[in-house]
Structure 1
Amino acid sequence: MKLLERISQQNTTAPVPFQRSLMSNGTPKRTVKDSQAEGFQQLKLAVHNRLFEMLDVTRLESLEPVLAAQKVTEAISAILDDEGRLLTDTDKTHLIEEIKNELLGLGPLEPLLWDDEITDILVNGHNQVYVEKRGKLHATEVKFQDDQHLMLIIDRIVSQVGRRVDEASPMVDARLPDGSRINAIIPPLALDGPALSIRRFGRKRYNVDDLVEKKTVVPEIVEFLRTIVRARLNILICGGTGSGKTTMLNCMSLFVPADERIVTIEDSAELMLQQPHVVRLETRPANVEGKGEVSQRDLVKNTLRMRPDRIIVGEVRGGEVFDMLQAMSTGHDGSIATIHANTPRDSLGRLEMMMLLSGVQIPQRAMRQQIASALNIIVHVARLSDGSRKILRISEISGMEGEMVMMQDLFEFKRTGIGVGGEVLGQFVATGIRSAYSQRLEAAGYKLDGKIFRNTAG
């Protein structure tokens, strides 16, 4: 049965619960404002039900979004004129928008998706929705009617990308048209009702100037990053969940010359590279029968046959790391990848663990030699206690000594305390160690001012 048909049945058979769901902005106390809000919701319910009598709602799903929105708007205006309802322009616009959101959008979540400050939307059952703003979680008054209403919205989201979620397949990973990542899990795995999380992919494309303005990094470090990218050093960006790894990768990719061929590999497409010569690849999960899966490792192997100048892996998380490291050390210099790890040293341990997942049995020393020969620079980003995101450390791999991969820090963010408003205080400093790749950078035609490596910390 089509989604809109189910909504139609729900409105005709259970109007009272639907009315309750639309009163998500009220307060427990009865006030004059509440009475006005209830009257508005009753009007919206009446118009909503009349709409199903006037329109063949099952055909709306097959129309272009702009045309479908236009038809709904015209029908609602006709209903209001027919019934002689007198509304202010503001109330009429509000009414039309809310009904369009229920029919064509994501219902109560639609206004949240238009707030550019919101980076995460977390739905914990039908009556609890949290959002993240500026790195902090905040409760909202947004509510769904019941679990079935939430399931309808989840169904709408995943159906847009050709996926499904039901009792046979109770977990789903997908993405919205704007690149935002969504994850949904439903009963019986979710005990308290369906849960939905949306990792927003903002409309604004950040560049390095934005990062400097937000104090994520300072101009001296930007100059160093620009140089190592153009000189084709292999770079690994590490950090925890929500630390800004993908944003950092997007910004660093701006330094890649426009005449180079780039191939990106991702689990869920998030990268927004602005070079003209980019081929974007995305993995494919297995179908219901468990067949047809295309993993990141498959894509990495195929990429090597596509004559890439640089390979960019959105996130290294499995056996593909073995093929990626081999590519980095056999002619595909200048490649960039991200990895979940809390420190640069931890990221090396994770790489070793994932190399074991590739199924290739090789000694530990051989694995570490592979890592040391393939990777050059590790950039560590983190989200701090005040919600800000910063580069905490830039380290370089200088080779092997015995069984250990040698690593040295070039730049770091030194925290000095907490400000009155809870903001983290500190400064970016050089460690005083000159990069071991200085000669390689100069050979590539890029000379760094030695002052940027000078330790100026007091």
Structure 2
Amino acid sequence: MISDPTKRAQQQSEISQMVGAALRRPEAGENPYRVVLRQVRQKLMATSDPYELAHPTEVTRQKVETLTRQIIADYRLAQPVQGLPVLDLPDDEIVRRVVSDVLGFGPLDPLLRDERIEEIIVNGTDIWVIDESGKHRTQTNAGDADSLVELINRLVASTGRQVNLANPILDAQLPDGSRLNATIAPVATPSPAMTIRRHRLVARQMQDLVQLESLTEAAAQFLKAAIQARLGILVAGGTSSGKTNFLNVLAGLFPEGERVIVIEDTRELQLPIQDVVYQTVRYANAEGTGEITQRRLVQNALRMRPDRIVVGEVRGAETLDMLLAANTGHEGFLSTVHANSAGQALTRLVQLTKLASEGSLIDDKTVAEWITEAFHIVAFLRRDPFSGKRRVEEIIELSGSVEQGNRILNQPIFTRDTERGDLVRTPYPLARADRLRDRGVDPTPFAPAPRAMGTPESWARRR
């Protein structure tokens, strides 16, 4: 035992210098926490199985905690001698953050665990969330640019992809089905940006939508009848308007025993059906091969003896294949499309068919006629930017005819009353009433509104 204070201080200094040599000196302005975190990661990479870190157990967590406390102690010992920045956080807080950063997703961990959150938006250090009540800025800090890039790559590690200078834009699906989009420099400046869209089925049954005031009981019964009669239904709306959730509810109304093929860009739908096949696209690998498009999946679905085909969202050449399939005996298609109104959704379908190589060879009138055979109903949804509520704004019916100028004739069946805000039945009679009768569905409950609501002519002037 050394009793001489001078010798003891000298030995302490030597130990501190040895420890400090193992800690790379922080760059100017670098957070000392980052130094500790880096040391923990380096030692774990050298001593641990990557699978263990990707699928941590309680033993793994204890291992990281023990290692972190050791490195914290080393840092504090070297700090006064080496002139390192002061590590001013309590040990327990540092350990908690390191475990979260190494084995979890750091500042996003509590947000990803919160089932109420639908979207997470990261702009540099700022983190915003969107839930059923709207958009909110959190008090959580995403960290510096390097930390955020590391976080993004940890989130997508299971996909085998990463964001870097050579690939500054990343679009990926996380294991839970969430969609992640990230951009870094030189595309995003001065800081990286990331958005995580989490599909949350707020409503699983039509009655849930009624209770949420997305639509009325009368409109709900009409859509149920349309599904029973195998009418094609297109759901339209903007981003985050609730299209996917609405589509999920509609598809859940398919009669028991029908074989359903679901085609999606990323897996989101969860149908309460036994005979259902989910198919998702596959993006090309780093060599540019292996891509499986929605168009190919639609074509393949026709060979799978489907009773119904659901296309999660049409956004390209697959629109043409969907229309062709619907015009060759495959009834009752369901799909969604981005649009600003029910009427514009029809125009969008015409435009999307042109993205197919052969689409430009087909005249617009022919495409419009195909649309009237494929889809009979369009439901338009909108998300209120103030309340956050998602509501059906309008349900239109396609008459089955195309007029001069290739306009698809349609009429509103339900629309929002501009004064009361209610979804009301219009005075227009159903153009497809015979179709309902032929399929064993009584159209009587869906008769036009009383004349007190106006005449078809007066409603036409409103439009």
- Give TM class, smaller chain: 0.7 to 0.9
Q: CA deviation at 1:227?
A: 1.3
SS in 2 for 1:426: coil
Mark the CA change 1:288 to 1:451 in structure 2 (over 3 Å): closer, same or farther. Answer: closer
Check if 1:378 corresponds to 2:378.
Answer: yes
Q: CA deviation at 1:78?
A: 9.6
In the TM superposition, what are the counterparts of 1:147-166 in structure 2 within 5 Å?
147-166=145-164
Deviation at 1:14, TM superposition (A): 4.1
Deviation at 1:350?
0.9
Q: How is 1:265-284 mapped onto 2 (pairs within 5 angstroms)?
A: 265-284=263-282
Distance across 2 between alignment mates of 1:415 and 1:144: 43
Distance 2:289 2:39 in 1: 45
Deviates more, 1:284-293 or 1:92-101: 92-101
Map of 1:411-430 to 2, 5 A cutoff? 411-416=414-419, 426-430=421-425
1:188 aligns with 2:186: yes
The AA in structure 2 aligned to 1:76 is E
Q: For structure 1, which segment, 139-148 or 57-66, has the greater mean C-alpha deviation from structure 2 after superposition?
A: 57-66
Structure 1 residue 315 displacement after superposition: 0.7
**Per-residue deviation, 1:230:** 2.0
Instruction: Spell out, residue by residue over 1:361-383, the C-alpha distance to the aligned partner (whole angstroms, 9 max, x if none).
Output: 11221121111222111110111
Q: 1:204 to 1:431 in 2, by over 3 A?
A: closer
Native 8 Å contact 1:266 1:296 kept in 2: yes
Kept in 2, the 8 Å contact 1:434–1:450? The answer is: no
Partner in structure 2 of residue 409 of structure 1: 412
What secondary structure does 2:409 align onto?
A: strand
CA distance in 2, matches of 1:209, 1:318: 33
Other-structure match for 1:3: none
1:394 lines up with 2:395 in the alignment:
yes
Name the CA distance, whole Å, in 2 between partners of 1:128 and 1:454: 50
Q: Aligned Cα RMSD in Å?
A: 3.1
Looking at structure 1, the residues matched to 319 and 453 of structure 2 have their Cα atoms a distance apart, in angstroms, of: 37
In 2, the alpha carbon distance for the partners of 1:49 and 1:321 equals 49
Contact 1:116 1:203 in 2 (8 A): no
Task: Give distance in 2, aligned partners of 1:162 and 1:132.
Answer: 28
Cα distance change of structure 1 residues 117 and 296 upon mapping to structure 2, 3 Å threshold: same
SS of the equivalent of 2:271 reads coil
Other-structure match for 2:57: 68
SS of the residue 1:113 aligns to: helix
The answer for unaligned runs of 5 or more in structure 2 is 1-21, 74-89, 455-463
Q: CA deviation at 1:277?
A: 1.2
Higher Cα radius of gyration:
2
Which SS does the other structure have where 1:142 is aligned?
strand
Structure 1 residues 74 and 191, CA gap change in structure 2 (3 angstroms): closer
The 1:12/1:121 distance shift into structure 2, 3 A limit, reads: farther
| Greater alpha carbon shift after TM alignment, 97-106 vs 207-216 | 97-106
Distance 1:279 1:94, change over 3 A: farther
- Matching residue's letter, 2:370: Q
- How much does 1:450 deviate? 2.7
Q: 1:166 to 1:11 in 2, by over 3 A?
A: farther
| Unaligned residue ranges in structure 1 (runs of 5+) | 1-9, 22-44, 85-90, 417-424
What is the rounded CA distance, in whole Å, between the counterparts of 1:165 and 1:442 in structure 2? 56
Change in CA separation of 1:451 and 1:395 when aligned onto 2, cut-off 3 Å: closer
Paired residues of 1:217 and 1:391 also in contact (CA < 8 A): yes
3-state DSSP class of the match of 2:418?
Answer: strand
Structure-2-length-normalised TM-score: 0.80
For this pair of structures, how many residues does the alignment match?
410
8 A contact 2:26–2:32 mirrored in 1:
no
- Do the aligned partners of 2:53 and 2:60 also contact (CA within 8 Å) in 1? no
* Structure 1 residues 98 and 448: CA distance shift in structure 2, 3 A: farther
Partner SS state of residue 415, structure 1: coil
Query: How far is 1:276 from its partner?
Result: 1.1
- The equivalent of 1:140 in structure 2 is 138
Q: Which whole-Å CA distance do the structure 2 matches of 1:325 and 1:11 have between them? A: 63
Once the two structures are TM-superposed, the CA of residue 337 in structure 1 deviates from its matched residue by 0.5
Alpha-carbon distance in 1 for matches of 2:172, 2:453: 46
Aligned residue for 1:435?
A: 430
SS of aligned partner of 1:284: coil
Q: Which amino acid aligns with 1:362?
A: I
Separation of aligned partners in 2, 1:451 and 1:228: 11
Whether contact under 8 Å (1:178, 1:201) holds in the other structure is no
Distance 1:281 1:118 in 2: 26
| TM-score normalised by structure 1 residue count | 0.81
Give the Cα separation in 2 of the matches to 1:148 and 1:50.
Answer: 15
Q: Structure 1 pair 447/74, CA: closer, same or farther in 2 (3 Å)?
A: farther
